[in-house]
């Protein structure tokens, strides 16, 4: 609605919030929680053309998230609390004597309380031509839109000035846009604030392996431009010149305090609006400052979201006349940079006197873990690079003596004594969620006093786990532990339809030879679920169980037969991977990465004739993107005719078995790794499992196939094969553990058979082998006892289950293209089967195609002077 009358003259006092970022939104929520939105008029002046969004996750835009996905503003909340939100209308002047704020639109707002949450601005070094065409900063969604557009039309190489958090994310974004990406960092290592030299070296190796070029220990002296004023390069402080078409400055931020300076508020020598412990400005009790624009009472400007949230809570409490103080904040951070976990906590650099370091480093795997230990055994801090799984637990013990040895906390799984640090070992004052400053005692209270019984209920009650999400796993452990300690039976059922776990349902299906999801639901579902349709959790899980056991049960192994079709997700439903623009990708199986020239020609001809984008995958296969759903059968008809079969890139099944060239070609090889990889891939192809499976075979200890990062990996020795299990790359890397060594071909295959079927039998839904091994009681020792020594007496059954699978394997696409009924599902519109989807379109890029997706919409901007209520 339009607001024309001066604010502040009515019966309610007025709070004006300048800035609507993450901290500003938290301040509004804190006001509402204390009832202040009912007693005060709240006006928000937002400079950006959209309300608050998750700036921490900004880079996720380049992986497909939209502004709506990133939004942190629930407009229903804004309307319910009667908050007047002015988007695209920032404050331009403040008259503290008259207590008035003038917005860019010319509107004047009188205030009783003014809260400045203006955040920070990117620091751009004062180098010549820093404002040239092709120079950008990396701060807002609009910045990302501009970078994307320029990269698409005018650049092939990009350079990022700054190797901190945002700098690495920006470099990853440039790489994702198809540019050759460089990082220029003045310090001698990447992320110099968060990690030490060892952590920086591990991070550097991993990032360079991703194809990014890193320049450390050099500064930017000048941006080089052409006659039109566009960027063509950078001159560096070591005398070298870097050719680049695009430059992103990400060299840190500075407090955005100009509005405060202009109205006479005190600011720090190096910037930041000076506030006291209540976040009130030191020379005006009616004005508060929170977030990155504030210089806290301890003399620090905090650039993390968690301290900003705490300042927002403090300011709201003070306005409500409650006692509150912000005296400093934990600077611990857990980040995921380009898919690499990086965490630091406490005294990470060992500044404390008489402290000792405990370090585990594996540069080949990109792992670095350091704990700083006091002379009395107190855990003071640490750094984790490549694997930050233990971050939540380690941070909670900071400042105390852990109940286990420090060495056991950093050694990888399977090395040394395991660290048994469950939720019960944490003290009540341990901070579990640093973003929202939630302690273990608060979480326990949510369960015992507020009767919360699930993680979502505890998150809603305490705000724990609602920001970065890194504490959710520990949160779940605490909730279950507290429920069990209180004598409450913890529901471990698969979902609301079944009270049994996935493992229990597997045993029921196997023992009773159940071949129908509906039969299982009607006989063993919860009361009220029987006779129903099930849910999105149990349907694919049960569908996977039935598919993995189909040969033994005498059921159809084809996932689209009868009832099975209704249990599948989109990928399995069309036997292809759905892509971001509604098209599909096709991945034929290429066992071991070995392919004949004739088959290469067929793939090239198919891709050419159907206009597909082609890419060699990390799993030694060729992926073809851009097929419309009605084209899939025609494409596969040609591929099947040439001898190809489904690569199951769409299924929770075996994907690939990579290999090096082994002893056949390589002078270091000691076994025929290609033959073994082909044998394994053909044996386990089509095997449905709780999660995808990846494998590799290396022909020697040089490990070129990276077998130790796979669900099961094989490395040749002079005496046979070593078998490694439960490794994982991706978002949470884990080195595989050695299960057995110097195996013959027959011994190797027998143990893999047993391992895979034991995993399928006992894992939870969507649980990778790496997570399964760490969860299962007894860990690797128990798995070895079962799989190698047959301690449970089930190995004959496991081997038979695998033998049934191998004997009954049929290629899904070969069956599909020969069945008119099955082919009828491959249409975009059921009522117009011959009509292609008009939304599936493409544009050219690098002599191929890419999805024609519009730039992000910036939404509808309210008219000047209009309040969204």
For each of the domains in the chain, give its residue range(s) and CATH number, in order of start: 14-121+255-319 (3.50.50.60), 135-251 (3.50.50.60), 330-421 (3.30.390.30), 502-568 (no CATH), 574-771+798-808 (3.30.413.10)
**867 band by pLDDT with thresholds 50, 70 and 90:** very low
What pLDDT does 855 receive? 40
Give 641 or 866, the one with higher predicted confidence. 641
How far apart (Å, rounded) are the C-alpha atoms in residues 758 and 154?
54
pLDDT, residue 58, reads 81
Q: Which residues are annotated as a binding site?
A: 660, 666, 700, 704
Average confidence (pLDDT) over 187-205: 85
Q: Which of the residue ranges 55-64, 377-386, 797-806 has the most confident prediction, judged by mean pLDDT?
A: 797-806
Higher pLDDT, 331 or 244: 244
Q: So what's the pLDDT on residue 470?
A: 62
pLDDT at 262: 96
- Max mean pLDDT range (170-179, 331-340, 729-738): 170-179
pLDDT > 90: what percent of the chain?
48
Q: How far apart are CA 500 and CA 508, in angstroms?
A: 10
Instruction: Give the annotated binding-site residues for siroheme.
Output: 704
* Residue 626 pLDDT: 92
What's the confidence (pLDDT) of residue 418? 43
pLDDT for res 830? 62
**Which residues are annotated binding-site positions for [4Fe-4S] cluster?**
660, 666, 700, 704
d(C-alpha 47, C-alpha 291), whole Å = 16
CB-CB contact of 143 with 182 (8 Å): no
Whether the per-residue pLDDT at 656 is higher than 50: the answer is yes
CA dihedral 309, 314, 315, 319 (to 10 degrees): 140
Which segment of 32-46, 556-570, 583-597 scores lowest on mean pLDDT?
Answer: 556-570
How confident is the model over 673-688, as a mean pLDDT?
A: 95
Residues above pLDDT 70, as percent of the chain: 92
What span, in angstroms and rounded, lies between the C-alpha atoms of 219 and 125? 10
Determine the Cα–Cα distance for residues 335 and 165; give it in Å rounded to an integer. Answer: 8
Rounded distance, CA 305 to CA 414, Å?
Answer: 36
* CA separation for the pair 526, 519 (Å, rounded): 13
- Across residues 398-418, what is the average pLDDT? 67
Distance of CA 199 to the CA centre of its chain: 21
- pLDDT one-digit tens code per residue, 120-134: 999 999 999 999 999
DSSP structure class, residue 206: H
Neighbours of 830 (CB within 10 A): 8
pLDDT at site 493: 82
pLDDT of 394 > 90? The answer is no
Answer yes or no: is pLDDT of 225 > 70: yes
696 vs 667 pLDDT, higher one:
696
H or E element in which residue 17 lies:
strand 14-18
Do strands 287-289 and 113-116 pair parallel, antiparallel, or not at all (unpaired)?
A: parallel
Split at pLDDT 50, 70, 90, the class of 804 is very high
Is 737 in a helix, a strand, or coil? strand
Helix axes 141-154, 165-176, angle to 10 degrees: 40
Overall average pLDDT of the 788-808 stretch:
93
CA dist 403 and 409 (Å) reads 11
Average pLDDT over residues 422-430: 69
Reduce the DSSP state of residue 598 to 3 states and report it: helix
Among 85-99, 426-440, 661-675, the range scoring the smallest mean pLDDT is: 426-440
Q: Determine the pLDDT at residue 793.
A: 92
CA neighbor of 574 nearest in space, from 284, 827, 265, 278: 827
194 close to 348: Cβ distance less than 8 angstroms? yes
Task: Report yes or no: 421 and 393 within 8 Å, Cβ to Cβ.
Answer: yes
pLDDT tens by residue, 336-371: 666 677 888 888 888 777 888 888 887 767 788 889
Hey, is 232 helix, strand or coil?
Answer: strand
DSSP assignments along 691-712, one per residue: S-EEEEEESSTT-TT-GGGSSE
Q: Is 280 helix (H, G, I), strand (E, B) or coil?
A: strand
- Give me the count of residues in the chain: 869
Largest distance between two CA atoms of the chain: 89
Q: Distance between CA atoms of 194 and 348, rounded to whole angstroms?
A: 8
SS3 of residue 852 by DSSP: coil
Interatomic CA distance for residues 693 and 687, integer angstroms = 9
Q: Strand 14-18 and strand 41-46: pairing?
A: parallel
* Side-chain-facing half-sphere of 240: CA atoms under 13 Å: 10
Within a 10 A sphere around the Cβ of 437, how many other Cβ atoms?
Answer: 18
Sequence-separated (6 or more) residues with CB below 8 Å from residue 715 = 697, 698, 700, 701, 703, 707, 708, 721, 722, 724
Quote the mean pLDDT of the chain: 86
Cα dihedral across residues 5, 11, 16, 21: positive or negative: negative
Q: 412 is written with which tokens?
A: 């990888």
Among residues 20, 23, 54, 39, the alpha carbon closest in space to that of 326 is found at 23
Q: Which two tokens stand for residue 324?
A: 């509150």
What pLDDT band is residue 674 in, cutting at 50, 70 and 90? very high
Nearest-5° Cα angle at 608, 607 to 614: 40
């Amino acid at each position: 609605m339009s607001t024309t009358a001066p604010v502040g003259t009515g019966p309610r006092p007025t709070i004006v919030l300048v800035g609507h970022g993450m901290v500003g939104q938290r301040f509004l929520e804190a006001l509402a929680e204390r009832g202040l939105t009912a007693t005060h008029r709240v006006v928000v002046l937002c400079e950006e053309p959209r309300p608050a969004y998750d700036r921490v996750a900004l880079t996720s835009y380049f992986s497909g998230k939209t502004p709506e996905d990133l939004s942190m503003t629930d407009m229903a909340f804004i309307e319910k609390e009667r908050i007047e939100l002015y988007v695209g209308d920032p404050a331009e002047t403040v008259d503290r004597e008259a207590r008035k704020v003038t917005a860019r639109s010319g509107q004047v707002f009188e205030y009783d309380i003014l809260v400045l949450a203006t955040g920070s601005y990117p620091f751009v070094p004062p180098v010549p031509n820093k404002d040239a065409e092709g120079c950008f900063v990396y701060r807002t969604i609009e910045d990302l839109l501009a970078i994307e557009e320029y990269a698409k039309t005018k650049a092939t190489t990009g350079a990022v000035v700054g190797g901190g958090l945002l700098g690495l994310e920006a470099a990853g974004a440039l790489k994702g846009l198809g540019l050759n990406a460089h990082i220029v960092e003045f310090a001698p290592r990447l992320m110099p604030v968060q990690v030490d030299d060892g952590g920086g070296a591990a991070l550097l190796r991993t990032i360079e392996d991703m194809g990014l070029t890193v320049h450390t220990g050099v500064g930017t002296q000048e941006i080089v431009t052409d006659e039109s004023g566009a960027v063509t390069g950078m001159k560096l402080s070591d005398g070298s010149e870097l050719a680049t078409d695009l430059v992103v400055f990400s060299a840190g931020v500075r407090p955005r305090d100009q509005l405060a300076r202009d109205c006479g508020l005190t600011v720090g020598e190096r910037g930041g609006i000076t506030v006291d412990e209540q976040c009130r400005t030191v020379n005006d009790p009616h004005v508060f400052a929170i977030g990155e624009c504030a210089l806290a009472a301890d003399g620090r400007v905090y650039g993390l979201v968690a301290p900003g949230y705490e300042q927002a809570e403090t300011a709201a409490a003070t306005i409500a006349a409650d006692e509150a103080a912000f005296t400093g904040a934990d600077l611990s951070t857990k980040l995921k940079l380009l898919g690499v976990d990086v965490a630091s906590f406490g005294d990470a650099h060992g500044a404390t006197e008489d402290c000792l370091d405990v370090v585990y480093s594996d540069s080949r795997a990109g792992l670095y873990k350091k704990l700083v230990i006091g002379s009395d055994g107190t855990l003071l801090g640490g750094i984790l690079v490549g694997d930050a799984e233990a971050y939540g637990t380690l941070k909670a013990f900071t400042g105390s003596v852990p109940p286990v040895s420090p060495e056991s906390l950093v050694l990888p799984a399977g090395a040394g004594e395991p660290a048994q640090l469950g939720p019960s070992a944490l003290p009540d004052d341990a901070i579990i969620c640093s973003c929202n400053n939630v302690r273990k005692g608060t979480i326990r209270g949510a369960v015992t006093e507020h009767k919360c019984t699930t993680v979502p209920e505890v998150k809603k009650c305490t705000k724990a786990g609602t920001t970065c999400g890194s504490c959710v796993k520990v949160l779940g452990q605490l909730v279950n532990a507290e429920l069990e300690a209180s004598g409450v039976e913890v529901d471990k059922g698969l979902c609301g339809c079944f009270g049994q776990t996935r493992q229990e349902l597997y045993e029921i299906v196997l023992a009773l030879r159940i071949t129908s999801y509906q039969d299982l639901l009607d006989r063993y579902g919860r009361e009220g679920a029987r006779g129903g349709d099930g849910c999105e959790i149990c349907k694919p899980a049960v569908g996977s169980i039935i598919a993995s056991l189909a040969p033994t049960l005498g059921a159809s192994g084809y996932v689209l037969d009868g009832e099975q079709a209704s249990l599948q997700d989109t990928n399995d439903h069309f036997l292809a991977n759905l892509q971001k623009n509604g098209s599909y990708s096709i991945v034929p199986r290429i066992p071991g990465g070995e392919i004949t020239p004739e088959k290469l020609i067929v793939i090239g001809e198919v891709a050419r004739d159907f206009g597909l984008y082609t890419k060699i995958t990390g799993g030694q296969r060729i992926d073809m993107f851009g097929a419309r759903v009605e084209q899939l059968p025609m494409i596969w008809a040609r591929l099947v005719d040439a001898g190809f079969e489904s690569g199951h890139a769409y299924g929770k099944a075996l994907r690939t078995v990579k290999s090096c060239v082994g002893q056949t070609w390589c002078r270091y090889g000691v076994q025929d790794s290609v033959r073994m990889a082909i044998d394994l891939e053909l044996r386990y192809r089509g095997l449905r499992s709780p999660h995808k499976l990846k494998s590799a075979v290396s022909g020697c200890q040089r490990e070129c196939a990276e077998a130790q990062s796979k669900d099961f990996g094989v490395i040749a020795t002079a005496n046979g094969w070593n078998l490694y299990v439960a490794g994982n790359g991706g978002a949470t890397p884990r080195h595989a553990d050695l299960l057995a060594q110097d195996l013959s071909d027959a011994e190797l295959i027998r143990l893999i058979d047993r391992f895979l079927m034991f995993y399928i039998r006992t894992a939870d839904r969507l649980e990778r082998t790496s997570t399964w091994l760490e969860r299962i009681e007894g860990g690797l020792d128990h798995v070895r006892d079962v799989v190698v020594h047959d301690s449970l007496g089930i190995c004959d059954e496991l081997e038979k289950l695998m033998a049934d699978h191998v004997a009954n394997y049929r290629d899904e696409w070969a069956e599909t293209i020969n069945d008119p009924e099955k082919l009828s599902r491959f249409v975009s519109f059921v009522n117009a089967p011959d009509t292609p989807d008009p939304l599936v379109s493409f544009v050219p890029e690098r002599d191929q195609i890419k999805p024609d997706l519009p730039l992000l919409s910036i939404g509808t901007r309210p008219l000047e002077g209009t309040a969204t209520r």
